[in-house]
């Protein structure tokens, strides 16, 4: 090693990636296509036009093109908060007494507090370019809604956010940030849509769910002139935009001659992990290098480790196309004592396919262990991590402690997706010793799998 590794590696602006990388182009067996639930046939661009922006549909359906140039307007916005630092966790290594070398790519240094902004700005840009008036979306924990409100404010687009009612009430400050960026925000289910009114009539007093908020946002987009719906995870286009995380990591590591043995990321819908690993998986697919890739999911919502690989609806309201993915069933709801995000019932079709092909593995962790890792990390690394990100921290610490036992000097890279400023009610429960774990039973999952829709041929 010729150069000393600094605590934080920041790329120069001219070293930042100028294209996104589409890992599907290098996959021999491609992810299964989205299908239309009415016909059970693959969706066409025309099927998706009423819902999504045209250019985003093209990106969604394209599994051949390896590189998509990042438009200059988006690169300019990226410069406002990127490159994100690649940090060598010297302090954590010292605290653990591990011979492992730990790096993390920190995506929390922007007001939305997470990596979600990488795709939000791209989706807002294409909506603006298409001459739309605005976009609609749903948000659960609130990272995506905040990111989209920032992006829309930048391009002067109207932004309508349906926020899961229980989060809307639990997180008044998330709501205020979104309002400060000029977006409108409606607790879901609401009486502003047909599906919302139907759900309210059937379940008065419900706190809502992500699936329900998706259904409302899709209805709002398709019933207003000049609006489209946008989504912050799961979709291929989102993983494409998020590849900027992995590309920057790879450029920074190459610059200092660092080669990770292991790449770890938290996985809910898969947007962060998919983005982080994409250039590394590309090398793996092309036979140029090998990496141990690990998805970390909550034990309370274990789509990869305990789900089934099948076609399922992307939303609870069953109005969206179906995707082939590892799923717990579109009606599955994680226990209310589960804090933070990573609550989605399914997993990105790209990641599901990579997992099925054994190109990556998955582990699940319990939330009390996750918050122990979060606290340990915060105390030595000076960043208060989001609960989501802390799943990756937990796994990275566990791997580093294994190295301490075996003496192996592994190089670990993990994704630190964001900050926990809006999750302090969960930290409070942890600090007060009032946090508990919940693991769904086999019977519960079996009942949920029984509700899966009819599969295409």
Q: What are the residues binding a second copy (CB under 8 A)?
A: 6-8, 10, 12-13, 79-81, 91, 109-111, 117, 150, 153-154, 172-173, 176-177, 179-182, 375, 378-384, 419, 421-422, 424-425, 427-428, 431
Whole-angstrom Cα distance, residue 160 to residue 360?
36
DSSP secondary structure code for residue 285 in this structure: H
The label of the residue with tokens 């946002």 reads: 217
Give 43 or 374: the residue with its C-beta nearer to a second copy.
374
Cis previous bond, 341, omega within 30? no
- CB 120 → a second copy: shortest distance, Å? 11
Q: What are the backbone dihedrals phi and psi of residue 91, each rounded to the nearest 5 degrees, phi first? A: -70, -40
Give 229 or 427: the residue with its C-beta nearer to a second copy.
427
- CB 62 → a second copy: shortest distance, Å? 29
- Whether 242 contacts 75, CB under 8 Å: no
Distances (CA, A) of 113 to 92, 108, 129, 143: 22, 4, 26, 7
Give 142 or 282: the residue with its C-beta nearer to a second copy.
142
- CB 103 → a second copy: shortest distance, Å? 14
Task: Transcribe 256-298 into DSSP letters.
Answer: TT---SEEEEE-SSSHHHHHHHHHHHHHHHTTS---EEEEEEE
Whole-angstrom Cα distance, residue 313 to residue 452?
8
- CB 145 → a second copy: shortest distance, Å? 14
- Whether 264 contacts 414, CB under 8 Å: yes
Give 177 or 266: the residue with its C-beta nearer to a second copy.
177
DSSP secondary structure code for residue 342 in this structure: -
- CB 76 → a second copy: shortest distance, Å? 8
Beta bridge partners of 228: 135
Give 110 or 327: the residue with its C-beta nearer to a second copy.
110
> What is the C-alpha R_g of the chain?
21
DSSP secondary structure code for residue 34 in this structure: P
Give 186 or 193: the residue with its C-beta nearer to a second copy.
186
- Distant-in-sequence, close-in-space partners of 259: CB < 8 Å, separation ≥ 6: 253, 289, 411
Give 175 or 228: the residue with its C-beta nearer to a second copy.
175
Q: Return the closest-CA partner of residue 215 out of 237, 202, 200, 196.
A: 196
- CB 188 → a second copy: shortest distance, Å? 20
Give 106 or 311: the residue with its C-beta nearer to a second copy.
106
Beta bridge partners of 78: none
- CB 95 → a second copy: shortest distance, Å? 10
- CB 7 → a second copy: shortest distance, Å? 4
- CB 375 → a second copy: shortest distance, Å? 6
- CB 422 → a second copy: shortest distance, Å? 7
Give 10 or 449: the residue with its C-beta nearer to a second copy.
10
The label of the residue with tokens 């599994």 reads: 63
Task: Transcribe 391-435 into DSSP letters.
Answer: HHHHHHHHHHHHHHHH----EEEEEE-BB-TT-HHHHHHHHTT--
Neighbours of 81 (CB within 10 A): 16
Give 16 or 61: the residue with its C-beta nearer to a second copy.
16
């Amino acid at each position: 090693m010729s150069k000393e590794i600094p605590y934080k590696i920041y790329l120069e602006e001219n070293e930042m990636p100028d294209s996104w990388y589409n890992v599907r182009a290098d996959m021999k067996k491609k992810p299964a296509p989205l299908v239309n639930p009415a016909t059970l046939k693959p969706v066409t661009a025309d099927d998706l036009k009423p819902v999504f922006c045209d250019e985003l549909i093209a990106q969604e359906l394209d599994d051949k093109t390896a590189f998509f140039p990042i438009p200059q307007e988006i690169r300019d916005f990226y410069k406002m908060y990127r490159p994100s630092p690649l940090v060598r966790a010297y302090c954590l290594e010292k605290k653990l007494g591990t011979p492992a070398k730990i790096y993390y790519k920190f995506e929390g240094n922007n007001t939305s507090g997470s990596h979600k902004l990488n795709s939000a700005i791209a989706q807002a840009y294409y909506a603006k370019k298409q001459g739309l008036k605005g976009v609609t979306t749903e948000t659960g924990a609130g990272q995506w809604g905040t990111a989209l409100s920032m992006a829309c404010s930048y391009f002067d687009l109207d932004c309508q956010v349906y926020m899961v009612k229980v989060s809307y009430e639990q997180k008044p400050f998330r709501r205020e940030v979104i309002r400060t960026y000029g977006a409108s925000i409606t607790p879901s289910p609401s009486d502003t849509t047909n599906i919302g009114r139907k759900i309210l009539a059937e379940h008065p007093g419900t706190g809502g769910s992500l699936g329900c908020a998706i259904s409302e946002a899709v209805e709002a987009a398709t019933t207003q002139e000049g609006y489209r719906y946008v989504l912050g995870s799961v979709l291929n286009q989102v993983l494409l935009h998020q590849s900027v995380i992995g590309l920057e990591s790879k450029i920074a590591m190459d610059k200092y001659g660092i080669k990770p043995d292991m790449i770890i990321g938290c996985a809910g819908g898969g947007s962060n992990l998919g983005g982080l690993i994409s250039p590394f998986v590309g090398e793996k697919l092309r036979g140029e290098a090998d990496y141990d890739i690990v998805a970390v999911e909550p034990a309370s919502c274990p789509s990869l480790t305990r789900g089934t690989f099948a076609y399922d609806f992307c939303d609870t309201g069953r109005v969206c196309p179906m995707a082939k993915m590892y799923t717990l069933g579109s009606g599955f709801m994680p226990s209310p004592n589960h804090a933070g995000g990573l609550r989605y019932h399914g997993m990105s079709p790209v990641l599901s396919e990579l997992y099925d092909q054994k190109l990556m593995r998955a582990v699940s962790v319990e939330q009390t262990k996750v918050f122990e890792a979060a606290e340990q990390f915060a105390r030595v690394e000076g960043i208060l991590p989001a609960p989501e990100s802390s799943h990756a921290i937990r796994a990275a610490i566990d791997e580093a402690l294994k190295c301490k036992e075996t003496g192996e000097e592994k190089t670990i890279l993990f994704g630190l997706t964001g900050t926990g400023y809006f999750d302090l009610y969960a930290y409070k429960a942890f600090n007060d010793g009032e946090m508990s774990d919940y693991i769904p039973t086999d019977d519960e999952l079996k009942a949920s799998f029984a509700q899966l829709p009819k599969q295409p041929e």
